[in-house]
Structure 1
Amino acid sequence: MNKVKCECGHLNPFGTYLCESCGKPLKEDGNQLANMRYEGVARRSQTYRKSIVDKIWNFFSSVKVGVWIIVLTLIGSSIGTIFPQEMFIPPGRPASVYYYEEYGTLGQLFYQLGFHNLYSSWWYMLLVAALGVSLVIASIDRFVPLYRALKTQRVTRHPGFMKRQRLFKNTDQVSEPGVKIKKASDILKKRKYNVREENGNLLAEKGRFSRWGPYVNHIGLIIFLIGAMLRLFPQMYLEDHIWVREGQEVEVRGTGGEYSVRNDNFLIEFYDQEDERFREGLERSGSDVVKTYQTTATLFRQSSETIGAGEKEEVKQHQIRVNDPMTFEGFSLYQVDYKLNELAEFTFALEEIDGDSEGLEDVTFDVNLYDPESSYEFDNGYRVEIYDYFPNFTFNDDGEPSTLNRIPDNPRFIFEVFEPGEEEGELSFVGIQLNEALDPDNEYRLRMVDFDTNNVSALAVRRDRTLPILILGGVIFMIGLVQGSYWHHRRMWIQERDGELWVAGHANKNWNALKKDFEYLSEKTGIPVPDDQTDEKEEEAGTDEGVREDDGPAK
């Protein structure tokens, strides 16, 4: 759209209310006081409304839209706190099962709607992204015209601009107005005002930097939101769990096989029931209370060139406790849970069903419940194969045998026993207190004769490279908050017109401080204190017709 040329020669963007240079009102709105919001300049969202880009820009630049996005985000965040997030539920328990068993139908609905992983769900990230876009567009829409208007403002302002200021007064003929203005300049400089003079007129300005406080806030928020969204990427943020059994070495997730950790020993201590200091509390609890539990762990590293082959280098050993993690290369291993006496190994013996087991005395074998072998062969020619294995046995929705997970809490086996030289075997279903022949003509059965257990430690694997970004965003936000809250932008215009002194003033907030500066200036120079035209209008109409200025996009 065509720019609007003021009588002072300055070209203003279409839709400008006050000339950016001299302040002349370019539109008559019938108000006595000037709308100084954003210095009366045109904003893109209020000027261009035709193309699809204009409509998207106008939508996201709206304060109401920004507020609604914040409200929806807060509502979603609040619902996400009703039940614990998935990262805080007991490790090893499927989320789909845990929420229903612990919280019933509401828990199941919580899980199905994705609130169990709220902060990484697509719709929550979409709200965060929309909020970021709104902050960027709203800030640009307001910052650019405000900065341009403040940068191009002239010292000598149009009479219409002066008369429309909230603080304004023009005097009768005064003697030596230039001397008074010069004296005012010296006094205001001592009060830390930035003073500019032009053709005998004066503009004193102080605290302009406070006008940028809301936009510094927005920069901090945008950086913070970027940090929050980067948590979706595993290279930036990782939250996982690993179960490590005593004597076992497992890969640390997220390291690409470069690091592994071994559980050398798991230690757990309980409070002494006989200790007088704790007896009352322990009696109320009705059970043993853990005093401390720790995992003595050794960290190993294998170079990226030899992953999967070669010797591993021992990096460090650490006693991992709840608040004392093992840290390395940006990773932290926290002690979060444990399991005592988990089933680790079964010992089976082969015998005949009719009780005559002559020649089978040595047919015993150990089955590792974590990683069982597929076949066990014996010197007498007998062979036992694992036809199927269910570490945590259950029936699925179709009524077929299945397993909840790979943890051997309720192990069941389908064994196939082969006689020497035979190609067809006998199937039997074996588990804890269970030994069923799958064929009534079976001659052999497998009997569990011994078992072994192991202590298991749960370690949380965490890596957070977004934390510096979040801290940076928070620091910048606080700087903007202090900048915009504890300082304010004050301006004084003093002009000589045909022997009269015209005095006007404007503040984006804290008008009392500006009035006190005018009173001090009046005491020293005799320049009259301008009248507050808002008070005059209140007396005449009983209402406040003044325009309150707020440069921030109010996000």
Structure 2
Amino acid sequence: MTLEETSLAKSSIWSAPQKFFKQEFLPVLTDLRLAILLLLAIALFSITGTVIEQGQSPAFYQANYPEDPALFGFLSWKVLLALGLDHVYRTWWYLSLLILFGTSLTACTFTRQLPALKASRKWKFYDKARQFQKLALSAELETGTLAELTQILNNRRYKVFAGENNNLYARKGIAGKLGPIIVHIGIVVILAGGIWGAMTGFIGQEMVPSGENFAVQNIVDAGPWAAPQIPKDWSMRVNRFWIDYTPSGGIDQFYSDLSVLDKQGQEVKRKTIFVNEPLRYKGVTFYQTDWGISGIRVRLNKSPVLQLPMAKLNTNGQGRIWATWIPTKPDLSEGVSLLARDLQGMLLLYDTKGQLVSTLRAGMSAEVNGVTLKIVELIGSTGLQIKADPSVPIVYTGFALLMIGVVMSYVSHSQIWALQADGRFYVGGRTNRAQVAFEQEMLDILAQIAPQPQEKETEKAIAS
């Protein structure tokens, strides 16, 4: 086989895939209908990820999405976990939709938007009178000069280009052609940010008693590249947790006084957080989301203060109750059960037979089984949600570009041509939007060129 034949063979091998890509695949990829379909699918699954609790334990989904009866007749916990609906935003199929949508927008930008922008930037002159008949707005005048029209257009912020054959071309509003490109770039940046956040972000939850230190360990949902985001060289301390109550006894707001500690245990930042007012440090955000009762401090007669843990009881949705057992004899043969609903309400004491023995509040005492039991303090615990999402600046940048592009897209791209030939002056123009405003502008321009038009000058009416 000769060298020429070899080159032809290689060329034929590569030409078939290129032809398929350009003629078959690329038109489908850049089709507006595909983009709309992908956008609707992304919106649908995003709603699913909002409605279905994300990052919970299998036991949670078994309890809330049973097999009988299944939600909508098919959505049980097994189906939910199999499809990855417990972590929608990190599933391969959701990320694939984002990538495909971003690829479609990018391809559309390079194959349609950029060529359209390039074409709009070219200087295109009309050198024949019949060319003006193709324009939506045109006029044939007996008066007027190119120099006069140039001055008028410059005053109206048109960019004017002079031709060599007694003609000119003017345009303004090129930003209107650039706007859709910026919109596409903004959407692609948002999609890229979403993918980056899914890969590198994490969500954790901690229930920490007041006065204790803690490290972020209970990670409930994390991307495959999230390890560098999880704090390792610093920790946290809950200096104090408290609740403000309304006059009727309801919870008004709960607060956590948090400190960030370095490796040496020194405080580097401190802030009191509450709902919708988090603490942020090194890309990690701590939200106030829940509260509980972790323990109680009591004194029996003149003994040292004893700290006992309290456990949350299962009330089947009938409110929250915490309980503990307090021994009243050193051999633990006798004791009382204590129940509490919140940090300020009445505490209930029950004996081993389930009989109510006494009711008291923190700071009060009661005689139980021959001893004086004093409630020194209830220890509250704060429920924190810890979140890191490195994609936030990227997504915000994408939204900013999107808004800028939308505003730019409303700018009209207007074009005007003029030709001076055979004692006649031809003027015409077109715009891509705001047609009525452009018609009025053309009328104003023509009025300045021919302030006293004669009958022949109006033979060719301005039409739209």
Shorter-chain TM-score above 0.5: yes
- Give the structure 2 partner of residue 70 of structure 1: 39
- TM-score, scaled to structure 2: 0.66
Q: CA deviation at 1:128?
A: 1.7
Q: Is the 8 A contact 1:194 1:204 kept in 2?
A: yes
* Superposition deviation, residue 186 in structure 1: 2.0
Q: Which residue of 1 aligns with 2:178?
A: 212
Q: Is the 8 A contact 2:208 2:214 kept in 1?
A: yes
**Would you say how many aligned residue pairs link Structure 1 and Structure 2?**
360
Residue 54 of structure 2 is aligned with which of 73, 86, 104?
Answer: 86
Structure 1: 5+ residue runs without aligned partners? 1-47, 274-287, 303-310, 345-365, 371-390, 393-407, 411-432, 434-451, 536-555
1:56–1:226 Cα change, 3 Å:
same
After superposition, give the CA deviation of every residue in 1:262-305 in whole Å (9 maximum; x if it has no partner): 334433343344xxxxxxxxxxxxxx522332334443221xxx
1:251 — aligned with what? Answer: 215
Q: Whole-Å Cα distance in 1 between the matches of residues 191 and 68 of structure 2? A: 32
Offset of 1:501 from its aligned partner?
3.3
Aligned with residue 400 of structure 2, among 472, 475, 499? 475
The equivalent of 2:202 in structure 1 is 238
CA distance in 1, matches of 2:199, 2:184: 24
Alpha-carbon deviation of 1:491? 1.3
Aligned-residue offset at 1:127: 1.5
Paired residues of 1:268 and 1:292 also in contact (CA < 8 A): yes
Deviation at 1:337, TM superposition (A): 1.1
Structure 1 match to 2:156: 191
Task: Output the aligned Cα RMSD.
Answer: 4.0
Cα contact 2:113–2:180 (8 A) shared by 1: no
Instruction: Tell me whether 1:129 sits opposite 2:99 in the alignment.
Output: yes
* 1:138-180 deviation line (CA, Å, top 9, x unaligned): 1111123223323333323566643322223456xx4xx6x53
2:250 maps to a residue whose letter is: V
**Aligned to 1:511, which of 421, 427, 435?**
435
Q: Which residue in 2 is equivalent to 1:163?
A: 133
SS in structure 2 at match of 1:132: helix
SS in 1 for 2:416: strand
Instruction: Give distance in 2, aligned partners of 1:296 and 1:509.
Output: 57
Instruction: Find the aligned partners of 2:140 and 2:252 in 1 and give their Cα distance.
Output: 80
Shift of 1:319: 3.5
| Corresponding residue to 1:200 among 156, 166, 186 | 166
The match for 1:96 is: 61
Equivalent position to 2:288, from 329, 332, 335? 335
Residues 123, 169 of structure 2: 8 Å contact kept: no
Find the aligned partners of 2:432 and 2:58 in 1 and give their Cα distance. 57
Query: Contact between 2:295 and 2:309, CA under 8 Å: does it hold in 1?
Result: no
CA deviations 1:103-160 (Å, max 9, x no partner) are 9622635833433433333222222222111111111111232233233333235666
1:523 aligns with 2:447: yes
Displacement of 1:218 in angstroms is 1.2
In the alignment, which residue of structure 2 is the partner of 1:326?
A: 279
Distance (whole Å) between structure 2 residues aligned to residue 93 and residue 246 of structure 1: 29
Contact 1:86 1:95 in 2 (8 A): no
TM-score by length of 1: 0.56
Asked whether the 8 Å contact 1:268–1:294 carries over to 2, the reply is yes
- 2:19 partner SS: coil
Measured after TM superposition, the shift of residue 458 of structure 1 is: 1.8
Contact 1:207 1:490 in 2 (8 A): yes
Structure with a larger share of its residues in helix:
2
Confirm whether residue 458 of structure 1 aligns to residue 383 of structure 2: yes
Specify whether residues 126 and 343 from structure 1 end up closer, same or farther in structure 2 by C-alpha distance, changes over 3 A only. farther
Cα drift, residue 342 of structure 1 = 6.2
Mark the CA change 1:204 to 1:481 in structure 2 (over 3 Å): closer, same or farther.
Answer: same
Q: Which has the larger radius of gyration?
A: 1
The percent of aligned pairs where both chains have the same amino acid is 21
Give the Cα–Cα distance (whole angstroms) in 2 for the partners of residues 103 and 488 of structure 1.
Answer: 59
Q: Secondary structure at the match of 2:398?
A: helix
Aligned to 1:143: 113
Amino acid at match of 1:136: T
Q: Within 2, Cα distance between the matches of 1:158 and 1:483?
A: 34
Query: What is the match of residue 266 of structure 2?
Result: 313
Q: Secondary structure of 2:237's match?
A: strand
CA deviation after TM superposition for structure 1 residue 201, in Å = 1.0
Show structure 2 runs of 5+ residues with no match: 1-16, 218-228, 298-305, 313-321, 325-351, 353-376
In structure 2, the partner of 1:290 is 251
User: Who is 1:154 aligned against?
Assistant: 124
Determine if contact 2:245/2:251 at 8 Å carries over to the other structure. yes
State how far apart, in whole Å, the 2-side matches of 1:267 and 1:456 are: 9
The 8 Å contact of residues 95 and 111 in structure 1, kept in 2 or not, is answered as no
Deviations 1:292-337 (A, max 9, x none): 32334443221xxxxxxxx533434443332333332222222211
